[in-house]
Structure 1
């Protein structure tokens, strides 16, 4: 895997983006129950159909048809009854129109009075509702007071107030693609983009004529068009401002005039295990948009192995929050909020195997803020560039390549340089193919994940980095200036 300078990502390569959480040391007997976390599984669930849903719609259509028949029969019976009684009017033919006229006049007067009264009440109600509109920056206690005033007789909890404060800023994100992009070789007559999948998003900022929505990279990956469905029911087109596959984040922009509320940021560094956590999103698609589930913060600073290119080898570790709040396909990109209605994470993934329940993950909001600011400004996250491709030493420990390295017996971990890009900082510094990197700036490096984390999180472009490595069994050191 290369740490080359950020450039447009090959969609065909990364559409298979998956997160595999696998115990590679397990024997064959345990292989069926190995830990596996896969974004591809979530992708299939989000993009898949449901025969049960179709069956339900057909059943509903049948019930509607039966009801229509009943109504038609009642109308026919009523008509027959009228025909039978038509000749029995006599004196009634004079009296009934008179009574009908009187009743009609009274009815007109009553409707007029009611209409006038409703208008007056409507004006008062409109003013009250305007004054009671919820502000995302309000304290949750103030929101609770407003809700209690507007909903007399109902029990309003702190959780209710937190949800009502944050919920208007959570949206559904629809990934639109042409059929040939989804299924190669298949085309449609219209050639227009169709819904390929859906997720969730959070409106976090309004700046001038634009509002910004944060979601997951994998929610909009491969999209030819993106639509946003707001809580109000409005649907608008969105533009992709930028995405970052490493953090699984993306920023979209929509017109600001359709936005009623933005979410308030919390601080993920202040979280404690056991604090309430509330997930808001669109599980299983738009039909369940605005769904809420509640749990707690189950763990902090969890490192989850990630296979970004689907080659079966983990090449990244996501640093995430763990929660037992229900996170289902479609929740991706939605909000994880605290008891004050503030955003503490962006829901991203879950452990999706039958033997595991209640293990979901969210990207901490502090990292979300750093990444979204770069995506807004640059359309990408600018990271230091070294210019090498890598392979974990452990992956070749039993191959002929390992014997060619002539490593000392005490070297158990490291990263093999499989190629060096011409003109890159690594090339200029003197790194060569088959060098085995064991330390960066004095810190031990056991695998590619640790190398990338040090490079991306500890260094910046223009800084120097000391690399300790083995070449033909001899330990050497050099200093590289990163770009």
Structure 2
């Protein structure tokens, strides 16, 4: 990974709260409020009460109104451990194969249990649960994709095939930057594998469903329906917990309900194919129906690297840097750039023996371009390096040193 220090920039995007896999939630109070009335005449009150009673009976019998006790009873029911059948009303389609695909896919959506230990004497307890997708079966082993934050800090990981059936899993690899992880487990009891689709041809308004385990395994294989609300949404996220954005991720926006526990589950198109990995939502009281999924085309590349190397190999430059407007006094006196240069990345430190050192970069150099792409901050540099070039590629940096523009060639190394 990069050695660059995080810039202290003001966060300009909506704060995105990565889903924490806890089991706390507030239960709705669906009891209707009582209406009080005062009758001036006893007979009028009697007739009014009689009318209200008759009307209520008629509404209940016609299923227009449900009683509060009915609602509470329905809320307290526990999910069946068996896989649910998906109604043909999920999508407006006459193709029965679509429903069969969805039913098979639901069996490939599993629970992921994060088990942590408080000390060496602790046998381990559940720290949280999320969702996962069985995407490959190879010989006696099956592979599951999930979110990295679901298994973060785990001493052991279990995959729940149902509420009553769990198997041990091994973490093959994890990548905090993209929030993806791959698990491996025995394939003995795996019957179905998810079909992975494509995310490059989806459109706004397409019908989708989200399948996962909201609020834990009690509600496993919950299905929520929605549409694709937006494409190529760029969201700044905090990957290291310092409350500063240090990465920009492109995601699919959907209004299908995504709740804590859905992390790592599937966003599915009407053909029963996975087009995204449910990952996050905007967690604000005034916001509803804004969930986000990692596009499956992006996820496939990361998954392949995690399978092969256990990590994602990214280019290293070997600098610590901040944006031009964030240089504190009195250090800003050491920076010389023309008046028309308003943006750039100021180098604070060059790591000895790094590609930056080999290329001749120095403290107080101001980087303004990489291969003709403008660089305003550390995110711009990271985004270009991680998406456009590879380890051992050579890039051209445009810099200002002592007020003069220069270009340097830099050969990228592998981040450690």
TM bracket (short chain): 0.7 to 0.9
The corresponding residue for 2:16 is: 37
The corresponding residue for 1:32 is: none
Q: What is the Cα deviation at residue 312 of structure 1?
A: 2.7
Distance 1:412 1:259 in 2: 57
Cα 1:327–1:258 change in 2 (3 A) is same
2:377 matches 1:447: yes
The corresponding residue for 2:262 is: 331
User: Is the Cα contact below 8 Å between 2:11 and 2:245 reproduced in 1?
Assistant: no
Q: What is the Cα deviation at residue 418 of structure 1?
A: 2.2
CA RMSD in angstroms, aligned pairs only: 2.7
Hey, which of these two has a bigger chunk of strand by percent?
Answer: 2
State the structure with more CA Rg: 1
2:123 matches 1:192: yes
The corresponding residue for 1:479 is: 409
Q: What is the Cα deviation at residue 393 of structure 1?
A: 2.5
User: Is the Cα contact below 8 Å between 2:163 and 2:220 reproduced in 1?
Assistant: no
The corresponding residue for 2:66 is: none
The corresponding residue for 2:397 is: 467
The alignment's TM-score, normalised by the length of structure 1, stands at: 0.68
2:322 matches 1:387: no
What residue ranges of structure 1 are gaps of 5+ in the alignment? 6-19, 25-34, 54-133, 135-139, 146-157, 181-186
Cα 1:230–1:142 change in 2 (3 A) is farther
2:2 matches 1:3: yes
Cα 1:322–1:50 change in 2 (3 A) is closer
Cα 1:199–1:232 change in 2 (3 A) is closer
Distance 2:182 2:10 in 1: 26
User: Is the Cα contact below 8 Å between 1:249 and 1:368 reproduced in 2?
Assistant: yes
The corresponding residue for 1:377 is: 308
User: Is the Cα contact below 8 Å between 1:143 and 1:161 reproduced in 2?
Assistant: no
The corresponding residue for 1:216 is: 147
Distance 2:250 2:279 in 1: 11
Q: What is the Cα deviation at residue 252 of structure 1?
A: 0.3
2:108 matches 1:169: yes
Deviations along 1:119-149, one digit per CA (max 9) or x if unpaired, are xxxxxxxxxxxxxxx9xxxxx989826xxxx
User: Is the Cα contact below 8 Å between 2:11 and 2:244 reproduced in 1?
Assistant: no
2:188 matches 1:257: yes
Q: What is the Cα deviation at residue 179 of structure 1?
A: 2.5
User: Is the Cα contact below 8 Å between 1:438 and 1:446 reproduced in 2?
Assistant: yes
Paired residues in the alignment total 349
What residue ranges of structure 2 are gaps of 5+ in the alignment? 29-85, 87-91
Pick one of 228, 250, 256 that aligns with 1:297.
Answer: 228
Q: What is the Cα deviation at residue 4 of structure 1?
A: 4.3
Q: What is the Cα deviation at residue 47 of structure 1?
A: 2.9
